[in-house]
Chains A and B, each alone.
Chain A
């Protein structure tokens, strides 16, 4: 076997090993963060006060919060209690799917940028800008149409407006990185603050709904919002929006894996110098991938306005930051984003159930968000543990698959 064939063989094995390994690491990271979360719940349960009757006892010590109950509520509650009978599609499960839909778009937004080797922390800001633009655009156009025709026209229009404005807002850090060498981590974070400030100014002033005490725009007419299909309308979830999200997954997968642009993006992400040497226009790739990433964030904003709120209000929840977790958990793979968005959607929707059933604050999910990223970021830790386990049994298989593929040496 020639050296070249051997090299290819090793590479192929690495690719398979790394895909399986990725899934294993992500699963392990998820499990580990949930375990740490359980410990946190126990510790928090020691720090708060409750009566002796309310407390639960583990290892002879009383705790105010019961982690078993917490995680029972977190997962089964988020799925709408499928095992206790009386499951209905309009219950908590539809909230889980609603969160999943929004996380799909923010996750894809982050994933696309990460694949190009760009840390887009600004999905949150792009979502906020897209959301306000959608609300204003749809409000402006909605008097022209009405009824079912209105819905059919306004929803694509709203998504388009959100995508365009989110995309333009994403282009700013792209241009700054490509032409002024400004680090995108910092610029996108600063742009998040700016987006919040400017939208607050606009919505508390010019575009404020005079009939509402909150800083929000005039509500969109009913026909400009996503219609509920199959799932009751009470929980602000639309299967159409989710279907659109699944199409987006397929679209991004195709774009990344089967188009010239996708090739440019992937090579720039893996080996920027080599990509540039091979004829990839680095500046153009940076700007276009951040624009597209921003557009996906903007669509998340459009969905939030047209599906969840029915208006734009300040204080948009942290879907953009959650998107970072979703993308990292998914190994920045569009199809993985689908799975990770569902998992994280369960966590997000479950924490509200937990808050009802126990007194554990919903900020718990914020902690889990960070822990998951941290654990996924340290594959070496799991490799070490994995090695311990396999070494004890038999001699390690495919030792080359256990090494990080050429990351450590430059």
Chain B
């Protein structure tokens, strides 16, 4: 008991540190943005000018939004799962399986939206397997999550090879962009109103997730299931059911992210780490950095995706840094952010199996 109280005192103490490092990262980002913008305005012909051009380019924002979609969806899913007490390291696997299945079903049916649904179903099934293994059979959540990732990493290229004769699928139709008239013509921010349907779905999902956590009974149950499962059990709500629901929701959300990822490009590429390429793991860092808040997770995703978008355009501008090195910036940034944020206060009971008294 005394140990537990000492632990919570520690946590209180580090709240300050935690917020200060978050503020630090946000501050540095804003300062860098300001430097590039002002510097670029003063010296348009220098490298600062190039950065400013890239930053204010409407293309950068639209690319950042596009790149955010899979990461942010997976991050939202991760929040649901981890808040309920099940750490879902397998988000990457859910993205991979849904990205492939979405293309496959679209290829079969010729309809992008049925394909999208197919991707979500595949991800939910894999999430269900993960839920059964961790909740029912008490598997270690980290190891089971790794298994989910590795299974998908093997299964998607395997299926693609069997069906299409190669790890990459043929291209299928893409959903195309939805443009809001007038608003889409605004400079820079117009990118928000002329985007793939998946971007709008993401806005919707961020808002809905926030609403669920802050305003609904189910959101409170999910939080309680991760923080104090015993209390939830005492209140007569089944912890097992809440956790199942939360993990399945993480399957739905990640499935939407994975399906959107491949369908927006019209192809699944399965070489090496596949087209998902670590996005599921970046998503985990995004929600840790966003402190388990859906809006926070979305904003930190936008930071990572923004960097990714910038590197694409910087490559085109040719600033003299080799392509291969620019490509690893998001991964380096993830490590730096993780090191600065340090241990976030994960839900009290996350990672633990919960055994209700009754058998």
Contact = CB atoms under 8 A, between A and B. Distances in A.
Contact of B133 (A204, A367, A378, A409): A378
Interface in B271-307: 272-273, 277-278, 281, 284-285, 288
A408 B138 contact: yes
A410 B354 CA distance: 10
B278 A189 contact: yes
Interface stretch (A99-107, A195-203, A232-240): A195-203
Interface stretch (B27-35, B200-208, B238-246, B327-335): B327-335
Nearest to A197: B328
Contact of B143 (A201, A377, A381): A377
B328 A193 contact: yes
Contacts of B355: 408-409
A181 B344 CA distance: 9
B151 A374 contact: yes
A380 B139 contact: yes
Q: How large is the interface on B (under 10, 10 to 19, 20 to 34, 35 or more residues)?
A: 35 or more
Which of B3, B146, B353: most chain A CB closer than 10 A? Answer: B146
Contacts of A186: 281, 284-285, 334-335, 338
Contact of B335 (A187, A198, A376): A187
A182 interface: yes
A324 interface: yes
A386 interface: no
B144 A182 contact: no
A204 B163 CA distance: 33
Given A187-B338, A201-B324, A193 B163 contact: no
A367 B158 contact: yes
A9 B343 CA distance: 40
Contacts of A273: 3
Given A186-B284, A191-B335, A374-B144, A363 B278 contact: no
Contacts of B144: 374, 377-378
Contacts, number: 155
Given A176-B335, A198-B325, A377 B140 contact: yes
Nearest to B270: A363
A197 B163 contact: no
Which of A190, A194, A367, A371: most chain B CB closer than 10 A? Answer: A190
Contacts of A374: 129, 133, 139, 144, 147-148, 151
Interface in A328-369: 328, 360-361, 363-369
A205 B163 contact: no
Given A176-B338, A176-B339, A373-B147, A200 B353 contact: no
A370 interface: yes
Given A325-B150, A377-B147, A378-B139, 8 more contacts: A185-B142, A186-B335, A201-B325, A205-B322, A315-B272, A321-B150, A364-B154, A366-B150
